[in-house]
Structure 1
């Protein structure tokens, strides 16, 4: 179900969101590692006995990765970049739809930006307290 977040609601949801994000990131990193291992097997001429099980493991990990993204976004957050650790929470500033912006490593929601601007357009939340504007 879709809903807008206040700053307080986003901060309250953040610990669970971080946990789910970290799981997704771990799956993404596992995919990268498995892809590298598969390329190594192909380039060194190893047998299908090594390749096939690893390829099946990659397929399973890809499935788990996409499932983890669905679970993460079911919290109401929108994933902008797993690799860069960018997630946005839909919010409102007066009548304008905006994003509350979070980057991996931050301990709370400190920034927001307009719908059409990204990470570079972030503005500090304290300038406009979005929790009172929804």
Structure 2
């Protein structure tokens, strides 16, 4: 897919937001279903094993759809999406974390998440 510009990454994130919002809901449902089934084997209000398998399948579909854009889904709980980019000749990842209103951070490839800085 190549590198993203800041503008293209922001546009892609906006397009992905409905998928990411659904991913958060499916993730929570899956955790609830799994907890109920592992505790006493009884289904939760969301259902039982068939619903758990369906939630797992949908979660995988959503994660694949995100990855197919060229973005990198680095984390699922919380969601962390990186967009490969180049800022002033330096390879970076434009970085969005669940709960952030917009794409406003980046970090150098060699520094990882701990090296996050605000976009200029």
Residue 5 (structure 2) pairs with residue 10 (structure 1): no
Gaps of 5+ in 1: 127-134
Give the deviation of 1:3 after TM superposition.
2.0
Compute the TM-score of the two structures, normalised by the length of structure 1: 0.77
Give the deviation of 1:116 after TM superposition.
2.5
After superposition, what is the alpha-carbon deviation per residue over 1:83-113, rounded to whole angstroms, capped at 9, x for unaligned?
1221110101244321001112222221111
Which structure has the larger Rg over C-alpha atoms?
1
Corresponding position of 1:97: 91
After superposition, what is the alpha-carbon deviation per residue over 1:44-88, rounded to whole angstroms, capped at 9, x for unaligned?
xx6xxx6xx711221121111101100122222111111122111
Gaps of 5+ in 2: none
**What aligned pairs does 1:23-38 form with structure 2 within 5 A after superposition?**
23-38=22-37
For residues 58 and 112 of structure 2, the distance between their equivalents in structure 1, rounded to whole angstroms, comes to 28
Kindly report the root-mean-square deviation, in angstroms, between the aligned alpha carbons of the 2 structures: 2.0
**Runs (4+) off by over 4 Å:** none
Corresponding position of 1:64: 58
The total of aligned residue pairs comes to 118
For residues 111 and 16 of structure 2, the distance between their equivalents in structure 1, rounded to whole angstroms, comes to 22
**Higher RCO, 1 vs 2 (CA within 8 Å, ≥6 residues apart):** 1
Corresponding position of 2:20: 21
Residue 120 (structure 2) pairs with residue 121 (structure 1): no
